[in-house]
Structure 1
Amino acid sequence: MGLHVENDEGSCEVTEVSKLEGEASINNRKGKLIFFYEWGIKATWTGTSKNGNKYKGNIEVPNLSDENDMEDLDISVTLCKDESETPLTAKGRKS
């Protein structure tokens, strides 16, 4: 919550996390902490274009895991059905 990104196209902010399911654990091996996690996340975002147009959409990350690198994540950033296309969705995917 509260993640805010901005660029020349406008700004976006995560406004609600509707799903955070999964598990996490920590193991201690030879004095070293090892973290394991696997999460599914769904969130809502709102944005404002540089023209002042307001947008609302959803973010889904089904495979946030210690086994995946950042570039391997499946991040889906979509607009609500009644919204027109905006470059803000591309900014959300990159951030």
Structure 2
Amino acid sequence: MSAKKSKIPKFRSDRAERAFWSKHSIEEFGDLQDLDVEIRPTRTEQIALRLSKEDLTVLRALARKRGIGHTTLARSVLEQWLEKKHVS
């Protein structure tokens, strides 16, 4: 008969969690199972884009009307512009 496994406690802070895991092993808290995980390469890269406050306000308002995030709208507009320039 195996010993009863403990439950992982809830932590009040990252510091408390780090201190706890520095003294305990995950193996103390139940049967571990192998997990199949696929690591996919990043398909996009991030850039920094400076906009005036006014342009950012307009971008956010337009995105809100479409029900999407302002960064999603900016990326979509840029992709469409690039495609148009690439084709012509």
Range into which the TM-score falls when normalised by the shorter chain: under 0.3
Q: Which has the larger radius of gyration?
A: 2
Structure with the larger RCO, 1 or 2 (CA within 8 Å, 6+ apart): 1
**TM-score normalised over the length of structure 2:** 0.24
Which structure has more helix as a fraction of its residues? 2
Which structure has more strand as a fraction of its residues? 1
